[in-house]
Structure 1
Amino acid sequence: MKKFMILGVLLVLLTACGGNEDTSKDELEEIKVVLDWTPNTNHTGLYVARDKGYFEEEGLDVEIIMPGEAGADQLVASGKADFGVSYQESITEARVQDVPIVSIAAVIQHNTSGFASLEEEGITSPKDFEGKTYGGWGAPLEKAVISSVMQQENADVSKVDIVNMGDSDFFTAVERDDIDFAWIYYGWTGVEAELRDTDINMVYLTDYSEKLDYYTPVLATNEDMIENNPETVSKFMKAASQGYQFAIDNPVEAANILIEAEPDLDAELVKASQEWLAPKYKDDASQWGLQKQEVWENYAEWMYEHDLLESELDAEQAFTNEFLPEED
């Protein structure tokens, strides 16, 4: 009889403990973060913050979701996602159209994108774009950027054939006869070229225009979150900052966290990309995530000059450093 009583007490205690864990989990604030694209090393800090418990330490239960057809910016602006991965260029366009989305951190300090081509094409500068075919996604921004960098060498953008290559990846596109160069982020596609032993030439945007050194990607939220849930935004940014700092300091372990979370990714590519990108996250900034008003103003000015904006941007409303944790 005594034995059954002891077992009963133990069962009650175990049930109580289990109940406390469930209650604790239930007390976490549920948050959705939408990615801009399929998971990659731009997102590593978010996965680290989630899987190492940094978000949970701040009282947040974070779900990382894919953008779907709506797109990350639309989901964030409408409040269907609390936070998202975006770009300075798209937020600039959105703000001018009174879309209430705000950048709260620069994922990478400097623009690492540029125009890539197979080495055999001999494209080593914007002047070499003449007589070549560019494969893009059909946005007016693309022609404006190509024109802008070509003007630095007195080259003529009208001599570039610009075509929409749809969903084709860079390697599929340039290995065809009808595409000579495309716009890539070196930290992913460029690193993949190295792993493939595919020799490419890069024309980086930042080599030809300071105004094109904008923040891409960024973390964003909406004005409603900032106004009504500033404490949640601060908690999210504290954990995200920890996650990205961990990825800066521990690129190998961070890569493994992303690989474990997204096993369909190419593990070799993730590891190589993470090593390349780790020092680029913070770069010359005093802390990860910091944004400068002049960077927002310069790029918006460039867009306005190239007729890509209907009106000038109020840069102060487009971004904030308010929610970054205080520097040590």
Structure 2
Amino acid sequence: GGSGVVVLPCGAGKTLVGAAAMAEAKATTLILVTNTVAGRQWKRELIARTSLTEEEIGEYSGERKEIRPVTIATYQVLTSRKKGTFTHLDLFGARDWGLVVYDEVHLLPAPIFRFTADLQARRRLGLTATLVREDGREGDVFSLIGPKRYDAPWKDIESQGWIAPAECTEVRVTLTDAERMSYATAEAEERYRMAATARTKLPVVKALVDRHPDDQVLVIGGYIDQLHQLGEYLDAPIVQGSTTNKERERLFDAFRSGEVRTLVISKVGNFSIDLPEAAVAIQVSGTFGSRQEEAQRLGRVLRPKADGRQAHFYTVVSRDTIDTEYAAHRQRFLAEQGYAYTIVDADDVLGPKLPTVD
């Protein structure tokens, strides 16, 4: 029973791969996930797609401590300490786990690396959409879990109809003279934030949202003030770090059902939270353009549309600023993944300007 890492684009059925491994292993399974929302998503999917019942799946999180034949535990609860000692590590020894599944293995916290190294598990399965770790420790993942078993290039999965072909468009906005001046005189570390959060982007984002009147649209930003600005400008609800799980689930459900059409989300949206499908994503600002985040973020949108419609990924960038440089990283990454990438001017999105009357 080999162990290994499976690299799949987001949305390409990681839970199904996990379920298949579980069926194969026919053994008690520990599934490690990034947060409770992701855990509940796993539970929902497993109940929907396998013969497992609600009673057979336990949640081991800050809120509940259930150990069942299939137990879903959060990385957080396992790394929490009391008086310097890790309190929940006995979970690993609680059963002779036949299979351990690591969801979003590239986010696996370092202490978990160390504990799981001596786990009793016979099989380990690491699932990830990307094997770029921010701390450069990809090698650890392989030494811990086993070799990379399967790496699905996005294009191949797409051509098999698993992921909607996405059209990526970078929209370049010209800053106003005042914004340019503030940018020019800003300290180096402030520059990205200023370029990324320029108010000039707002009408462009609105025009992009209006371009897709029949689609669910996610608007993604990296800065709290900007999220509020976007929420107000688009008259759309916001999901950010401080949003409670309950409220987040409520908004996601409203978005899924089409009751909410546009949702503004902060980068919290990246980490395996069961983001609802959207046909359109508009990124207004990120943080330093890490490839891992790009993969995550794009994968959230690239779900097959039932009617075969195209998915769209827009990124709105301030011209002649560091924002454009970050966009170049993104462009390179997307090009490597085989996506078409187009750069357009904001005016093309905003449409012809009406002539001014003296």
Structure that is richer in helix per residue: 1
Structure that is richer in strand per residue: 2
Q: So what's the TM-score if we normalise by structure 1?
A: 0.28
Q: So what's the TM-score if we normalise by structure 2?
A: 0.26
State the structure with bigger RCO (CA 8 A, min sep 6), 1 or 2. Answer: 1
Larger radius of gyration: 1
